[in-house]
Structure 1
Amino acid sequence: MTPADHPVASRQGFCLCCGGSATFAPDGSWLTPHQVFTEARGIVDTIRAAAATAPIQVHTLRGNVSVLEGSGGNIAVLTGPDGKLLVDAGIGVSRPQLTKALASLGPEPITHLINTHWHFDHADGNEWLHAEGAAILAHENTRKHLIAAQRVEDWNFDFPASPPGAIPADVFATDRSVQLNRSTLALKYYGPAHTDSDISVTFAEADIVHAADIYWNGIYPFIDYSTGGSIDGTIRGAEATLAVTTDKTIIIPGHGQPVSNRAELQAYRDMLVAIRDNVAALKRQGRSLEEIVAAKPTAAYDAKWGQFVIGPALFTKLVYEGV
């Protein structure tokens, strides 16, 4: 099923059909970047409220790996005799739906959790999953961000420090290999990308890669400059995943339609590069952010990529910050 075939709420993973960053004013004119951010100020609370009732869809892949869609970012699950391992924790208020979905995958207990980065839509469920028995593993920068209060400027939101049970007890700096359920998991640090804490998780035998939030399938991505992200880093992350995958590899994006492939990731990378180059060229001409937004440097891609929470104006602003 292509992204265009999915209903918006399901396709995007957040299940955020009623929120988002509006791009147009009631009179049909483009909002200024400041107006866009004003419209988006309730984004975190809106996402949490939507996750409280959103259904969880289970997508069975191969090699005892499945994807759960509907609570924040896409969650990968590996089942087997060593217990259930989750890649990302979703949003805490989704616990009842996630519990039911996990039970449908078998009777094994939850024993391990890997966070791909620190953002709330991927780590907010850490505390309850740890209480269920999950040992939490993440990059050292994920722990750094979760253990202290964080501000995300482009969400205009201050996150408090996470509770002790939500903090990863096991961290790494560059790479880590995990043997579990007769599978080899390779964890690789992207370097600063979507944030400064992003990792990929490869299920070697199944040839499946969870690319995390360096890849938003069919939608413009959020880039968190407040905690080390950048447009160039996001592009480098996409290119790093392209370099280690083939046409047979299943790629799990952080958001969007949860089952993807190398061709779709390549199209995403090419879109990022084209828009970055468009915005950079306008910025070199000395144009202001408002002038660049009005020039619509994303126009060729908006119909496919600009239909969700990160609209054309906000994405233009995010790219502008990094060029």
Structure 2
Amino acid sequence: MSVPHHHVMSRRGFCTCCVVAAGATALGGWLTPAQAFVEARDIVDLVRADAAKRRITVHSLRRGVSILEGSGGNIAVLTGPDGNMFVDAGITVSRLRILEAVKGLSRQPITHLINTHWHFDHTDGNQWLNQDGATIIAHENTHKHLLAAQRVEDWDYNFPTAPLSAVPSELVASEKTLSLNGATIALLHPGPAHTDGDLTVTFGEADVLHCGDIYWNGIYPFIDYSTGGSIDGTIKAAEAILAAATSKTIIIPGHGKPVSNRAELAAYRDMLADIRGTVATLKRQGRPVDDIVAAKPTAAHDAQWGQFLISPAFFTRLVYQGV
């Protein structure tokens, strides 16, 4: 995700949203991320506590591909006789609910896990999945970030080094193709976008494409500049995904409504490009960031995209950093 990685889950019921909403009610407006963090005290424990009770919803797609919604980012699952593959790992405290949901799809073991990037809400389950026999595959920068403590400046939060059993053992530089359960699975690094280690995952025969946190469906995204993300890279990556998709492609976002399509992704790309252009113009005029936030350059999009944890003001500041 991240907001920072673990801070924003699906649109449905995520406790940090409750923290922010409570603050908005009390203070008459959105909390800044720093204020939300103070309110939450320990955001990691808060997220884990929420995930421990959150229901896992299964969305069956086609040709053995499904989505598990409710533990961190949206998890894709490919089932079949060769063993089950996960795309992203969710949060560890959801383990029993995740296993219960997967057993409803297949009794085969989980043999492969792909991380779309390093953020907590997508990799916290790495350790237990690896210990249960799953080989972890990720971009080489995800490997680098999990091997060291990481700080996300925009959230004023330090994340510890992951245990070695949670660190990917098979690395992708630019692209890689796997074959499993009769499916051709294409992994592609589109360049720095949400982070510098993003992967998209395409299930070829099913025509299903998982975007990771490059795409947030119906909500403003977080962009992690601390580990190489950028607004321009996010737009470029969204455009590359659009070029690879058709009107029949099922597109899975990292967050938001889990079953999406090319038209919705195109609307997301257009929103990003429009806000980026407006903020860049104001910045070129020499206006300071607080003035640009006050000008509300996201206003035309806020009703559709600004109703979750990444507030219009915070998203404006994220865009400002990258233009």
User: Could you tell me which residue of structure 2 aligns to residue 242 of structure 1?
Assistant: 242
Structure 1 pair 279–46 and aligned structure 2 pair: CA distance change class (3 A):
farther
Match of residue 34, structure 2, among 34, 37, 46? 37
Q: Which amino acid aligns with 1:270?
A: D
Does the alignment pair 1:221 with 2:221? yes
User: Could you tell me which residue of structure 2 aligns to residue 119 of structure 1?
Assistant: 119
Does the alignment pair 1:69 with 2:69? yes
* 1:148-159 matched pairs, under 5 angstroms: 148-159=148-159
Distance in 2 separating the partners of 1:10 and 1:234:
19
- Whether the 8 Å CA contact 2:208–2:252 is kept in 1: the answer is yes
Q: Which amino acid aligns with 1:204?
A: G
Distance in 2 separating the partners of 1:314 and 1:21:
15
Q: Deviations over 1:133-152 (max 9, x none)?
A: 10111111110000111001
User: Could you tell me which residue of structure 2 aligns to residue 270 of structure 1?
Assistant: 270
Does the alignment pair 1:177 with 2:174? no
Q: Deviations over 1:259-281 (max 9, x none)?
A: 00000000000000011111111
User: Could you tell me which residue of structure 1 aligns to residue 4 of structure 2?
Assistant: none
Structure 1 unaligned regions, length at least 5: 1-7
Does the alignment pair 1:82 with 2:79? no
* 1:1-323 matched pairs, under 5 angstroms: 11-12=11-12, 14=14, 16-20=16-20, 26=26, 28=28, 35-41=32-38, 42=40, 43-323=43-323
Q: Deviations over 1:36-64 (max 9, x none)?
A: 42334544443333212111100000010
Q: Which amino acid aligns with 1:170?
A: E
Distance in 2 separating the partners of 1:64 and 1:267:
28
Deviation, structure 1 residue 282: 1.4
Q: Which secondary structure state, in structure 2, belongs to the residue aligned with residue 198 of structure 1?
A: coil
- Whether the 8 Å CA contact 1:54–1:71 is kept in 2: the answer is yes
Distance in 2 separating the partners of 1:62 and 1:11:
23
Structure 1 pair 255–10 and aligned structure 2 pair: CA distance change class (3 A):
closer
- Whether the 8 Å CA contact 1:30–1:294 is kept in 2: the answer is no
Q: Deviations over 1:68-113 (max 9, x none)?
A: 0011100000000011100000111111211111111121111110
Structure 2 unaligned regions, length at least 5: 1-7
Deviation, structure 1 residue 10: 5.8
Q: Which amino acid aligns with 2:287?
A: R
Q: Which secondary structure state, in structure 2, belongs to the residue aligned with residue 11 of structure 1?
A: coil
- The normalised TM-score by structure 1 is 0.92
Q: Which amino acid aligns with 1:152?
A: V
Stretch moving more, 78-87 or 273-282: 273-282
Structure 1 pair 49–24 and aligned structure 2 pair: CA distance change class (3 A):
same
Structure 1 pair 199–20 and aligned structure 2 pair: CA distance change class (3 A):
farther
Structure 1 pair 27–182 and aligned structure 2 pair: CA distance change class (3 A):
closer
Determine what percentage of the aligned residue pairs are the same residue. 65
Distance in 1 separating the partners of 2:196 and 2:183:
27
Q: Which amino acid aligns with 1:108?
A: Q
Q: Deviations over 1:169-208 (max 9, x none)?
A: 1102011000000100000001110000001000000000
- Whether the 8 Å CA contact 2:84–2:112 is kept in 1: the answer is yes
Distance in 2 separating the partners of 1:23 and 1:207:
42
Deviation, structure 1 residue 300: 0.8
| Total equivalences in the alignment | 313
Structure 1 pair 214–142 and aligned structure 2 pair: CA distance change class (3 A):
same
Name whichever structure is richer in helix by fraction.
Answer: 2
Structure 1 pair 66–29 and aligned structure 2 pair: CA distance change class (3 A):
closer
- Whether the 8 Å CA contact 1:113–1:136 is kept in 2: the answer is yes
Distance in 1 separating the partners of 2:21 and 2:120:
18
- Whether the 8 Å CA contact 2:11–2:308 is kept in 1: the answer is no
- Whether the 8 Å CA contact 1:77–1:87 is kept in 2: the answer is yes
